[in-house]
């Protein structure tokens, strides 16, 4: 295996968390590992809602933190919620200074939307449903003017190198369908910011590459994983057969859109006092139940939003148009789809993992902010706050051993042909297994079947780091879901429908324990 050593901090990923961390590390030299062209393939760019922050006098970080804790179903770390919400306004102002074109009022204030489980409007948005794309545009423009950052497009990380206690490098391959021989890259520090796990499910709103590889890679290296069972299903994915499914932003419901079924019945009114603005897990289960009963759930924007959807929510309107739907005159069919993973690499307030030399931020990390059910539009906020925290801690860690280096030479990696890539049929089977057995509603029989299927798939698949990473994360999700014998937030067990009293426990998990559980179940035909 080729070996390259660099003074640069190695950042795995190229979404919001990765880019923001790279900017905050400047002028320290950084190299970013980006499987796709910069700005493509990252969940951040697809985010429609916006950034949650207390931006007006009637709101406060304390109220925002209280909503976060309430939505998280007893599993939120209150200290983390306070840490994040108290920094929210500062980060919105920073993004504004960097050129993000947030929607503004005629008086110059921020236009704020209300989303599910928020007690008031506090989501800063862009053109209704373009916040992620606009934030990424502004950050990429700034990144291109930052000489300390090198972006290696078309490369992917597939494995971490460790000495048993410390992460020392990352193994890279080309990210195209042909693959390549691996290259080992050692840097001054490793930051994982490569997204979540929604693409492990057959029905998802996530970009195609977001399939748990970064979490799986860290788990295989021995990192501690937390909250793996808590996968958030977005209730209003547009149900038109696309993979991934287009998203109908929650801001539509914040603007008055209602949920109806094929009979025209508004079904959320009888299920929760907040109706369509109930916590996401409540709405997702209601949507799922309507789908299972053949009632064809739909999002109705006709009376409350009408033609405004074409100009104020253009991404949603475009998704409808390419599938022959007119949201001005027709309700939009929706389904619950895997959207966000609250679980990931367990980190502290500095973004440090349990492995020395390894930091994580963004959706790949589990900070304790989201608990069992992420509050809407807290995802981008968490990415911003912890990207900066990681950058500051990495800079401090490096400065303890070295002075600020001169600009590091650019890396020139020459990949050789060869290597292995995941079998498409095996990936499809894995994704269907997760949707069928580890989805919105779960039970012991289905979770055991999922673990047996995952064991069989991994055993029959040719050795491939990328597939092993997917299988590792899927195993962690299914195993943790089997062990949590209660229903809490996004984790709903039909055989254990009640929530245990008291605060939700957050037991850390190692992959070796999840694999031992999987192996025991695979050997037990019952």
Q: What is the C-alpha separation between 398 and 30, in angstroms, rounded?
A: 12
DSSP 331: P
Apex 271 CA angle, 266 and 272, nearest 5: 105
Q: Give the DSSP H or E segment for 292.
A: helix 280-292
209 tagged catalytic: no
The CA-to-CA distance between both ends of the chain, in Å, stands at 44
Q: For the chain, what is the total number of helices (H) and then of strands (E)?
A: 15, 19
Of the candidates 114, 209, 211, 280, the residue annotated as catalytic is 280
**465 to each of 172, 173, 404, 421, 462, how far by Cα in Å?**
10, 10, 34, 8, 10
Q: What are the DSSP calls for 186-230, one per residue?
A: E-SEEEE----SGGGSSSBSS-TT-SSHHHHHHHHTT--EE-TT-
Report residue 377 as tokens.
Answer: 């539009």
Q: Return the closest-CA partner of residue 158 out of 218, 223, 201.
A: 218
Residue 412 backbone dihedrals phi, psi, to 5 degrees: -130, 95
ω before 224 within 30° of 0 (cis)?
no
User: Is there a contact between 371 and 75 (Cβ–Cβ < 8 Å)?
Assistant: yes
Residue 417 backbone dihedrals phi, psi, to 5 degrees: -60, 155
User: What's the length of the chain?
Assistant: 526
Q: What are the DSSP calls for 119-158, one per residue?
A: SS--EE-STTT-HHHHHHHHHHHHHHT-TTEEEEETEEEE
The alpha carbon dihedral of 354, 355, 361, 363 has a sign of: negative
The residue to which tokens 């894995």 are assigned: 430
Enzyme catalytic residues: 280
């Amino acid at each position: 295996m080729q070996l390259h050593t660099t003074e640069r901090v190695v950042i795995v990923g190229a979404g919001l968390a990765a880019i923001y961390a790279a900017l905050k590390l400047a002028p320290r030299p950084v190299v970013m590992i980006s499987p796709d062209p910069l700005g493509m393939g990252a969940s951040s760019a697809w985010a429609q809602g916006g950034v949650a922050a207390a931006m007006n006098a009637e709101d406060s970080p304390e109220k925002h933190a209280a909503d976060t804790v309430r939505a998280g179903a007893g599993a939120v770390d209150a200290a983390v919620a306070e840490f994040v919400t108290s920094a929210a306004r500062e980060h919105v102002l920073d993004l504004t200074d960097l050129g993000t074109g947030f929607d503004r009022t005629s008086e110059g204030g921020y236009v704020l939307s209300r989303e599910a489980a928020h007690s008031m409007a506090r989501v800063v948005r862009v053109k209704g449903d373009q916040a992620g794309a606009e934030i990424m545009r502004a950050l990429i423009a700034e990144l291109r003017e930052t000489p300390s950052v090198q972006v290696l497009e078309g490369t992917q990380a597939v494995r971490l190198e460790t000495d048993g206690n410390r992460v020392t490098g990352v193994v890279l391959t080309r990210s195209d369908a042909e693959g390549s021989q691996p290259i080992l890259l050692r840097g001054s520090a490793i930051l994982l910011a490569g997204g979540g796990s929604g693409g492990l499910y057959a029905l998802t709103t996530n970009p195609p590459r977001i399939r748990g590889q970064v979490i799986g890679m860290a788990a295989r290296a021995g990192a501690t994983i937390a909250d793996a069972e808590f996968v958030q299903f977005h209730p209003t994915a547009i149900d038109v057969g696309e993979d991934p499914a287009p998203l109908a932003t929650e801001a539509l419901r914040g603007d008055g859109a209602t949920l109806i079924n094929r009979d025209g019945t508004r079904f959320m009114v009888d299920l929760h006092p907040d109706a369509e603005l109930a916590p996401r897990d409540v709405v997702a289960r209601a949507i799922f139940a309507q789908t299972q009963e053949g009632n064809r759930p739909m999002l109705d924007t006709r009376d409350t939003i009408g033609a405004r959807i074409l100009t104020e929510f253009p991404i949603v309107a475009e998704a409808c148009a390419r599938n022959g739907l007119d949201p001005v005159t027709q309700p939009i069919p929706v389904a619950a789809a895997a959207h966000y993973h609250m679980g990931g690499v367990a980190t502290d307030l500095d973004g440090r993992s349990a492995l020395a030399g390894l930091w994580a931020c963004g959706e790949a990390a589990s900070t304790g902010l989201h608990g069992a059910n992420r509050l809407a539009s807290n995802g981008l906020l968490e990415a911003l706050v912890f990207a900066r925290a990681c950058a500051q801690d990495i800079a401090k860690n490096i400065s303890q051993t070295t002075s600020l280096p001169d600009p590091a030479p650019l890396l020139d990696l020459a990949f050789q042909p060869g290597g292995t890539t995941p079998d498409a049929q095996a990936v499809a089977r894995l994704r269907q297994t997760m949707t069928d057995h580890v989805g919105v509603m779960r039970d012991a029989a289905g979770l055991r079947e999922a673990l047996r299927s995952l064991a069989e798939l991994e055993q029959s698949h040719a050795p491939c780091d990328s597939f092993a990473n997917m299988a590792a994360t899927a195993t962690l999700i299914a195993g943790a879901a089997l062990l949590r014998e209660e229903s809490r937030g996004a984790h709903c067990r039909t055989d254990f429908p009640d929530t245990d009293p008291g605060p939700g426990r957050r037991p850390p998990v190692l992959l070796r324990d999840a694999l031992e559980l999987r192996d025991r179940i695979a050997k037990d035909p019952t």
